[in-house]
């Protein structure tokens, strides 16, 4: 398959579930046209205000949950819910694999600003084992983490009987993917989550180290129990025009939000995104290995879609930064995965997609570089 790049942003058609139209424009770009030209945001805000009203707590209990990393997106949502709209959110974090100092500082800033928080840290013997196993088998050490980050806020919603959850953006419509129907950009479809984000059933992860009971943090509650408890989850991006740059500007104006101390996050152009997990450098690098695009192309495409950069400028920056080798925090990562550097590099190469990569003069090259 020849890799094509969207003519408006930089996204390649190797991104899972992305669709290109006849003019080679991706569906994320088409969605952004909607966002800037067609959607009546005043009306959406009114819809939001009507939606939250019946959930509003009048006895001091929490009235909504925000799955919260402490990053700019989830923090700006939580901040608006509490201080702009008078809700009483409970923030729920599934621990990063290797928490960074900046991530800890930013979470602390928010808690000090006036939020209640539950921080869930899974059994590390099991979590590390699964990370290592999935890195070797699937080239993604965050598969169990992804399951946990989806599962824990729902488990908390059921346990604490908090029926309203606010997620940030609907990735499938915002960034290109399969949008099941009109409501899926507004309400979280729990079946879609199970299909797309977890990919497989954690119950199948039992092995010689992991027992069934070890898997509780990863097993999504039964869909029937969720609907019986009346738990519904909405995407903030449906009600308010989504922009990661604007979220950053917003939260920076509210708290002392710390950015990457090096001035730029590895593999991309920003210094304010995904700061909380040392594991993310490898995660995005493996996307590059498997699909041929890294974090810079992802972030730049979003920036172009929000009319905050031209494609020409974005192209120049993507050539410079996309697919940088994850040498920042590399020792922590090797230690975490219990791998030596040679073994680690061999596993990376094993996951190179031959449709995307070729070897020339002993060097890996993209078959279809960005154009």
Residue whose C-beta lies closest to Zn ion: 6
Q: How far apart are the first and last CA of the chain?
A: 16
Nearer to Zn ion (CB atom), residue 211 or residue 307: 307
For Zn ion, the closer of residues 23 and 161 by Cβ is: 23
Q: Which is nearer to Zn ion, 10 or 333 (CB)?
A: 10
Question: Smaller CB distance to Zn ion: residue 29 or 157?
Answer: 29
Report the residue number, 141 or 303, with the smaller CB distance to Zn ion.
303
Stretch that binds Zn ion, among 8-16, 61-69, 185-193, 354-362 (CB under 5 A): 8-16
In angstroms, what is the minimal distance from the CB of 22 to Zn ion?
14
Segment 28-37 long-range contacts (CB within 8 Å, at least 24 positions apart): 28/173, 28/174, 28/175, 28/176, 28/301, 28/305, 29/305, 31/173, 31/174, 31/176, 31/305, 32/305, 32/306, 32/307, 35/241, 35/242, 36/241, 36/307
Asked whether position 8 contacts Zn ion by CB under 5 A, the answer is yes
* Nearest residue (CB) to Zn ion, 20 versus 190: 20
Interaction with Zn ion in 151-210: which residues (CB under 5 A)? none
Span 226-285, contacts to Zn ion by CB under 5 A:
none
Write out the two tokens for 224: 């029937």
Question: Rule CB under 5 A: which of 17-76 touch Zn ion?
Answer: 26, 29
**Helices 72-79 and 244-254, packing angle to 10 deg:** 60
Q: Closer CB to Zn ion, residue 9 or residue 78? A: 9
Minimal distance in Å, beta carbon 362 to Zn ion?
A: 34
Is 9 a binding residue for Zn ion by CB under 5 A? The answer is yes
**Which of these segments, 5-13, 117-125, 218-226, 359-367, binds Zn ion (CB under 5 A)?**
5-13
Spatial separation of the C-alpha atoms in residues 61 and 161, rounded to whole Å: 10
Q: How far is the CB of 173 from Zn ion (least distance, A)?
A: 13
Vertex 73, ends 68 and 76: CA angle to 5°?
90
CB of 132 to Zn ion, least distance (A): 35
The distance of closest approach from Cβ of residue 216 to Zn ion in the complex, given in angstroms and rounded to an integer, is 40
Instruction: State the nearest-atom distance from the C-beta of 24 to Zn ion, in Å.
Output: 9
Q: In the numeric block, which tokens belong to residue 33?
A: 């046209």
317 interacts with Zn ion by CB under 5 A: no
Number of residues that bind Zn ion (CB under 5 A): 6
Residue 11 vs 81, nearer CB to Zn ion: 11
Closest approach of Zn ion to the CB of residue 28, in Å: 5
Span interacting with Zn ion, options 3-11, 144-152, 154-162, 319-327, rule CB under 5 A? 3-11
Residues engaged in binding Zn ion (CB under 5 A): 6, 8-9, 11, 26, 29
């Amino acid at each position: 398959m020849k890799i094509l790049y969207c003519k408006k942003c930089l996204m390649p058609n190797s991104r899972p579930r992305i669709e290109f139209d006849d003019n080679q424009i991706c569906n994320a770009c088409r969605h952004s046209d909607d966002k800037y030209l067609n959607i009546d945001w005043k009306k959406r805000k009114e819809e939001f205000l009507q939606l939250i009203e019946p959930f509003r707590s009048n006895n001091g209990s929490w009235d909504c949950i925000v799955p919260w990393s402490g990053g700019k997106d989830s923090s700006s949502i939580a901040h608006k819910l509490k201080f702009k709209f008078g809700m009483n959110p409970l923030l729920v974090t599934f621990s990063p694999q290797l928490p960074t100092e900046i991530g800890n500082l930013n979470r602390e800033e928010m808690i000090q600003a006036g939020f209640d928080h539950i921080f869930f840290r899974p059994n590390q013997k099991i979590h590390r084992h699964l990370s290592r196993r999935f890195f070797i088998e699937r080239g993604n050490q965050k598969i169990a983490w992804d399951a946990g980050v989806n599962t824990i806020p729902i488990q908390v919603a059921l346990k604490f009987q908090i029926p309203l959850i606010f997620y940030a953006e609907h990735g499938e419509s915002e960034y290109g993917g399969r949008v099941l129907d009109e409501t899926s950009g507004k309400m979280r479809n729990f079946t879609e989550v199970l299909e797309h984000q977890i990919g497989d059933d954690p119950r199948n992860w039992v092995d010689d180290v992991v027992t069934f009971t070890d898997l509780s943090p990863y097993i999504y509650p039964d869909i029937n129990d969720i609907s019986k408890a009346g738990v519904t989850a909405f995407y903030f991006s449906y009600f308010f025009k989504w922009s990661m740059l604007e979220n950053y500007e917003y939260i920076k104006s509210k708290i002392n939000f710390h950015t990457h101390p090096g001035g730029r996050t590895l593999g991309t152009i920003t210094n304010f995104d995904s700061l909380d997990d040392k594991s993310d450098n490898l995660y995005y690098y493996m996307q590059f290995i498997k699909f041929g695009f890294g974090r810079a192309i992802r972030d730049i495409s979003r920036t172009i879609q929000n009319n905050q950069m031209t494609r020409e400028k974005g192209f120049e920056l993507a050539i410079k930064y996309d697919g940088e080798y994850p040498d920042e925090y590399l020792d922590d990562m090797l230690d975490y995965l219990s791998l030596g550097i040679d073994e680690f590099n061999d596993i990376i190469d094993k996951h190179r997609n031959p449709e995307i990569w070729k070897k020339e003069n002993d060097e890996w090259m993209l078959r279809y570089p960005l154009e």
